[in-house]
Structure 1
Amino acid sequence: MSAILQLQRVETAYGSSQVLFGIDLTIERGQVATLLGRNGMGKSTTVRSILGLARILPGGSIVFNGQRIDQLAPDRVARLGIALVPEGRQIFPNLTVRENLVAFAANRSGAADPWTLDRVYALFPRLQERAANMGNQLSGGEQQMLAIGRALMTNPHLLILDEATEGLAPLVREEIWRCLAQLRALGQTTLVIDKYVQRLIALADRHTVIERGKVVWAGDSDALRRAPEVWQRYVGV
């Protein structure tokens, strides 16, 4: 395997307030990786740094697919093949489900078997049933399915989910976990932020735990399964 994303010594500040302090994170091609930690500990800032939405301080670096991206504008980072399923979904409320999906259609990874409207509908049949509904007419779970489908329609090298199942009913959460397992089987490289550690242990290959902007633990699922005190202390679920 080869690294598709590598953060080294990443430090990020908002004005005079520093949030990240030397974050190291490596994701191999085809891996599912997680970023764990309580709210306010720097997970979303790490994602914003990867996407070019927050500038990192000198001395650190972010390399994606062999290219330095830490000084690129967010639109250029996206076109290189990183897609975000943002916290809060952020779908377009005044577009239909179908319009939300086709508006982002691209093949940024050059996939031989790219994601299409039909493939997204097969993954989430509920979206096909609701294809003509406006975004603001969907339930929270349907909006999350749409946000994932929208990201997949760009055919990204790397899919990032920030708070993948936040605020969703248990049955809908199960559907999202099923979807992520299918994407893993298809070889989709994914970074997941979520609080349900036991589900993530079953899904993911590698985990990074951050506390107050620093990496306090990193390892594979077997190691995290054997260290419940780590996730009880730093994630608290």
Structure 2
Amino acid sequence: MLSIRQLEAAYGTSQVLFDVALDIAEGEVVTLLGRNGMGKTTTVRAIMGLLAPRGGSIALDGADIRGAAPETVARRGLGLVPEGRQVFPTLTVRENLVATAANRLRRPQPWTLERVYALFPRLQERADQYARTLSGGEQQMLAIGRALMTNPKLLILDEATEGLAPVIRAEIWHCIAALKAEGQSILLIDKNLNALKRLADRHYILEKGRTVWTGSSTDLARDTELVHRYVGV
């Protein structure tokens, strides 16, 4: 479904990505691992059209989307839960969810307010509250719900549980597992390796803007030296 080869990207004169390769098949959960500053978020920004790549290729279902505008990428079926959540603070929970809602891919069972509320009951309880009044965990639920309301082919979560309380992290992981069970394709960035190993089909590790390793959760669990070297835990 998504295929990336030899991706290069920079911020001005500072090159961050040098050779990123990544593949995600339909229905897969794939992670992007690495220490801070290795290029994970930059890769996501390049995929979503928020940063114009310098080289390489990004293909979605065989069609080149490298350098496409963010709205074009979103219409093609990519949904982003960005680092820092970035919900609309002056809109209510309900307004956040419907603001970008669409079913462009004509899914037979699309995500609706009712389905999102069933996944995250707290959002229904706070439907008329402004997003800025929510806790960090509730804002993350809202960011995930908002992305799901676009009915994405691929859901991308950048720092899925960063800074959240343990009980909220557990709820987010439970919901991601439910999405996987439904066949949702997901690209995950997070630091919780135990949760990622339980959920993901495959993992990619970035080091200084390059893909240096890929393998299954079994491979990742087996190679503790590699994890210490590239992920730092």
2:200 counterpart of 1:200? no
Amino acid at match of 1:100: N
Q: How do residues 75-224 of structure 1 correspond to structure 2 at under 5 angstroms?
A: 75-224=71-220
Name the residue aligned to 1:30: 27
In structure 2, distance between residues paired with 1:36 and 1:107: 31
Instruction: Report Cα offsets for 1:112-164 as digits up to 9, x if no partner.
Output: 10000000000000100111111011000000000000000000000000000
Whether the aligned pair in 2 keeps the contact of 1:197 and 1:231 (CA below 8 Å) is no
In structure 1, distance between residues paired with 2:3 and 2:93: 34
- Aligned-pair CA distance for 1:100: 0.5
Gaps of at least 5 residues in structure 1 are none
Name the residue aligned to 2:49: 52
In structure 2, distance between residues paired with 1:156 and 1:236: 32
Amino acid at match of 1:10: L
**Residue-pair matches, total:** 233
Alignment partner of 2:79: what SS? strand
In structure 1, distance between residues paired with 2:23 and 2:36: 22
Alignment partner of 2:31: what SS? strand
Normalised to the residue count of structure 1, the TM-score between the two structures is 0.96
Identity of aligned residues (%): 63
**Distance of aligned partners of 1:128 and 1:40 in 2 relative to their CA distance in 1, 3 Å threshold:** same
What RMSD, in angstroms, separates the aligned Cα atoms of the two structures?
0.9
Amino acid at match of 1:197: L
Alignment partner of 2:24: what SS? strand
In structure 1, distance between residues paired with 2:82 and 2:206: 19
Gaps of at least 5 residues in structure 2 are none
